[in-house]
Chains A and B, each alone.
Chain A
Amino acid sequence: MNYEDLTLITHKMRENILNMIHTANSGHPGGSLSAVEIVTYLYFKEMNIENPTDENRDRFILSKGHAAPVLYSALMEKGFLDKGLIGTLRQIDSKLQGHPDMKKVPGVEASTGSLGQGLAISNGIALANKYDNKSNRVFVLLGDGEIQEGMVWEAAMLSSHYKLDNLTAILDHNGLQIDGKNEDVMKVEPLDKKWEAFGWHVIKADGHDFNSLEKAFEERKTIKDKPVIIIAETVKGKGVSFMEDKAGWHGKAPNADELDIALKEVGGDK
């Protein structure tokens, strides 16, 4: 799939996300929109996954589970999940829980939402795959605020200790968390030195540029005996002018007027 086709998918992804969160009247647009290109690239270019139950599929773990709409949206565009469910996010009796529930949605590989746990889960899958001599890879998306959780670093140690070269973490580095900027709430920099110190190979990328993402994922393939983290620079709320780089849009739904403007901007209504 070429970059133009991928870009068209991102339009649909953003439209789905905005419609889901607007209908739910709650949810997390900022961190869902910042991850759109990363998740699109994974599902439509990088990962080997033609159906959500295939034994040999690559797996994606959304550690920053509050970005559930970006995952549901990818599963919908992939054809794994009924698009008619868009209006049911966060509603009673819906499969689309506020945070992903692996028992309710085929394609959700782990129930996440409580931050800091996805890397350990991914390690477990990667260890099991290695033991079974399976070539399946594991990709895990972390938030930059999320890595303030201590458990992330317990897991980071394990990934390199066990030389998990079938594991790739992607850090959605949008710089914001609920209470404001990372650097004001709790500094997470220097990210590259931290991850390198924990035994990881670090690759930097522009998280909204497919060319940059492709280079990063191709470089990843050349790294053996090590876990790799792609630190993807992103913009929270990407694609919607009034949401971009605003911490206030971490967990707030757009109203009807805001939705209209937003949908025009993301190109999804074309």
Chain B
Amino acid sequence: MAKKATREAYGEALKKLAASNPNVVVLDADLSGSTKTVEFKKVCPERFYNVGIAEQNLIGTAAGMAIAGKVAFASTFAMFAAGRAFEIIRNTVAYPSLNVKIAATHAGLTVGEDGASHQAIEDISLMRSIPNMTVINPADCIEAEKAILKAAEYVGPVYIRLGRAAVENIYDDSYEFEIGKGVELRKGTDVTIIATGLMVQKSLKAAEELEKDGISARVINIHTIKPIDKDIIIQAAKETGAIVTAEEHSIIGGLGSAVLEVLSDSCPVPLKRVGVLDVFGESGKPDELLEKYHLTENNILQECKNIIKQKK
């Protein structure tokens, strides 16, 4: 199957928005070729604004655009959006709940060769801790494009996490995306894998392997980490009795933490988190990094087997 990065889907979605929504403006901080906002610039240069290498300015300017009635998409790498501009996002965008969409690309370890300085593995944690913020992490290009189009319709701040590396599509064009609604991709009764982003594909493969060993694993895609779909998580906990979460993000504060918060409030069951183990990454090819930092389908599979032993 042809693979494509979710940032490519962002470029495609922006081209559609250029034609369909005259209120959309796009801002970038000198990374338009990488973030794919250049696709918008090509078809709609009059509504494209480069702010230079100045991420605080990127978010502040987008906030002003939103105050003036625009749907402002602001893009840079996730490290510099969620990281460097955190406080501007918190105070100037989210506090007054402005209509700014932060489409942050190059998230996670799979930035690859640029190394730890560019690998945002804390962004979900940072963004979901801010009141009023919606946090979306699409699994494939179909989902990414639909999520961006939905985010443009939604009124309020949204953080959309996009990747550099190409990923396989798990959905087809008939897929209907709804903000805040988890998706059960595979039925199962022994354990549930709750995944987000490119770990969804790996979770589906892990579930196929588990089936060969007679283990029935449910797979849920949580594309919206905030507001999170509590119902689908609680139902999975009740019906399968064990959860493994999988994310290309630190195990601190991301999807795993969000799921734990839901379960500790409502239905505690044994849970294992597959994610980056509170360490920085390094340079390397995306697949090498995922292997070294324990983000493979085999890691998910092993955690499923481990957690099943802990079930009451």
A positions within 8 Å CB-CB of B:
101-103, 109-114, 116-117, 119-129, 131-132, 150-151, 154-155, 157-158, 161-162
Contacts and interface: CB of A to CB of B under 8 A. Distances in A.
Q: Is the interface of B mostly helix, strand, loop or mixed?
A: helix
Contacts of B57: 120, 123, 151, 154-155, 157-158
Contacts of A158: 51-52, 54, 57, 61
Given A151-B60, A154-B52, A110 B69 contact: no
Interface in B44-86: 46-47, 49, 51-52, 54, 56-57, 59-70, 72
B56 to A, nearest CB: 4
A9 B170 CA distance: 66
A129 B70 CA distance: 10
A126 B63 CA distance: 12
A125 B25 CA distance: 12
B235 interface: no
Contacts of A111: 91-92, 95-96
Contacts of A128: 25, 64-65, 68-70
Contacts of B47: 131
Q: Is the interface of A mostly helix, strand, loop or mixed?
A: helix
* Interface footprint category on B: 20 to 34
A150 B64 CA distance: 18
Nearest to A157: B52
B97 interface: yes
Interface in B248-270: none
Nearest to A65: B91
A158 B64 CA distance: 13
B230 to A, nearest CB: 27
B210 to A, nearest CB: 49
B114 interface: no
A131 B60 contact: no
Contacts of B70: 128
Nearest to A136: B68
